[in-house]
Structure 1
Amino acid sequence: MDIADHYAMRTGSAPLESGLLGKLTVTDLGMVRIPSGQLGACDPFVNLDDPVVFRIPPGDYPVYVTVADVSEQQDGSHMREAYLSLVMSDATATRVEAAPGLDGPPPEGEFFGASVDAGTVAFVDADSVNMSMPEDPRKWYDDVFDPHDDPRSWFAIMDADEPLPAGTANLVMPRSNAGENVVLAHSGWGDGFYPVLQTKDAEGEVTAIHIDFGVVGKFEDEPNAGTAMTPAPPANSNQPSSN
């Protein structure tokens, strides 16, 4: 995987599947707290309590969404999320590769990733969910995600134009004791399987973790929504899926 074909956190233009070039913008979604060092990537409305997990140093990290204008006229009339990125360093990235799971990297040409069924992906501290969300996951939808006519519902906040752009949100979990939160964004073209990548600097240090939605890049080489991939594994298995 060539770093030149990886467009997360970039502005300017990037190749689209249509053959056109799409303008990229990057939006700061605030910090995500990862106190356990167990970074979860998931569809928060489907498997928040069972994300695919990656090990990073404990801490608070900025999250950004890279959005591509995929309209033919490049007039901003059709925008799609291209990457969700958790940034660990401001060093220049020189390499991009599949992010390793808890038991090490996947086989060559394969990826760990997030399976999406509600058009949304998120970063979260995997160990914080059980303590910070209501005790019964069966009630999360009605009590947290979409309580009737409640402007504090996660769906309502995500649909609002502020404080973050519509389609994104930074949400503190209801039973949080120390600001444990979920940072989320719509997932490009919607449902599918999305690989989790990491970038490294010239010294081999990880600079960021990215979820790639397959909206921009070299499409003959890169996975995107709709490809035949096995769904993301449970956090305790991290079995890879093939490209």
Structure 2
Amino acid sequence: MSDFPAPDTFFALRPGPAAGTGPAGSPGLRLTVHDLGELVLPSGRLEASDPFTLLGEGLVVQVEPGRYPVRVTVADVSDEQDGSHLREAYLSVVLADGEVAAVEPVVPEGADGPPEAGAAFGVPVDAGTVAFADADAVARLMPDGDWYEEVFDDGTDTSWFALTDSPDHLREGSANILLPGARDGENVVISHSGWGDGFYPLVRTVAADGTVLGLHLDLLVALPDEDDD
């Protein structure tokens, strides 16, 4: 991502047409916002990762411990804008209400400082998914052994793969799943990652008074016309 978007060109959590994106002559890609429930963060150490390849090794950002809404912003990328081709555009954790004044990079744990101008820390994706979880809960609750066979794809309707792909759970392509052995609601919230594998920046939206309003994985779907390729 070469430059950070201005607030009026950052479309996370903004339903309706995303002006300046989509087919030429259109009002913009049509966006819808879907509630994925709450993310439980007892430690406040929020981890962003590809859950099927790097869970427990993702970016970690400190927030106030608590429970926060998670929402996915979905773009209709069909030429006809008829809902026939949908892609996830942003996965967001809502930390506070307010009007967005700036979109900024985050500085995760372990970083020496902010990224270079125009750059961002982000999440490498190799399994077509992104997720948020509590980093301490992941370390404490995920079992020893083969997560793929024991958790991700154990052959049941409650496996992580099955729930993520189920249209009857939340929506096809998203899931809110308790971690194994969770006693206090510790969970992981998963979404398909827009166009699939790649590298996706983690950014934050900030109010004029400095309040951090949300953390967002920008899945690079709702881009200006000239960036569509």
Please give the TM-score of this superposition, normalised by the length of structure 2.
0.91
CA distance in 2, matches of 1:194, 1:184: 14
8 Å contact 2:173–2:191 — kept in the other structure? yes
Structure 2 residue identity aligned to 1:214: L
1:105 maps to 2:114: yes
Rate the CA distance shift 1:101–1:77 in 2: closer, same or farther, 3 A: same
Match of 1:186?
192
Shift, 1:177, TM fit: 2.5
Of the three residues 153, 160, 180, the one matched with 2:159 is: 153
1:131 maps onto 2:134 in alignment: no
**Partner Cα separation in structure 1 for residue 32 and residue 144 of structure 2:** 38
Q: Does 1:57 align with 2:60?
A: no
Shift of 1:108: 1.6
Contact 1:115-1:192 within 8 A present in 2 as well: yes
| Structure 1 counterpart of 2:36, one-letter code | L
- Quick one: distance in 2 between partners of 1:172 and 1:179? 6
Give the alignment partner of residue 12 of structure 2, picking from 8, 14, 28: 8
Measured after TM superposition, the shift of residue 110 of structure 1 is 1.4
CA distance in 2 between counterparts of 1:87 and 1:179 reads 18
Q: Does 1:209 align with 2:218?
A: no
Two-structure CA RMSD over aligned residues (Å):
1.7
Contact kept, 8 Å, 2:23 with 2:225, in 1: the verdict is: no
Q: Say if 1:132 and 1:177, in contact at 8 Å, map to a contact too.
A: no
Give the secondary-structure state (helix, strand or coil) at the position aligned to 1:45: coil
For 1:89-136, what per-residue CA distance to the aligned partner results, in whole angstroms no more than 9, with x for missing partners?
111111111112224422221111111000000000111112111122
Residues 47-94 of structure 1, C-alpha deviations (whole Å, 9 max, x = no match) = 112111111111111000000000011110000000000001111111
Following TM superposition, by how much is the alpha carbon of 1:22 offset from its aligned partner in structure 2, in angstroms?
Answer: 1.0
What displacement does 1:220 show?
Answer: 5.8
Aligned-pair CA distance for 1:158: 1.1
Q: Choose which of 151, 162, 172 in structure 1 pairs with 2:168.
A: 162
Deviation string for 1:126-180 (max 9, x for gaps)? Answer: 11112111122xx1100111112x1111111111112300000000011222111
- Which amino acid in structure 2 is aligned with residue 72 of structure 1? D
Distance 1:36 1:110 in 2: 28
* Percent sequence identity over aligned pairs: 48
The gaps in structure 2 that reach 5 residues or longer are none
Q: Distance in 1 between matches of 2:89 and 2:69?
A: 17
The TM-score, its normalising length taken from structure 1, stands at 0.86
Three-state SS of the structure 2 residue aligned to 1:100 is coil
Please say if 1:198 is aligned against 2:214: no
SS at match of 1:141: helix
Structure-2 separation of matches of 1:33 and 1:105: 27
Aligned residue-pair number: 220
SS of match in other structure, 1:46:
coil
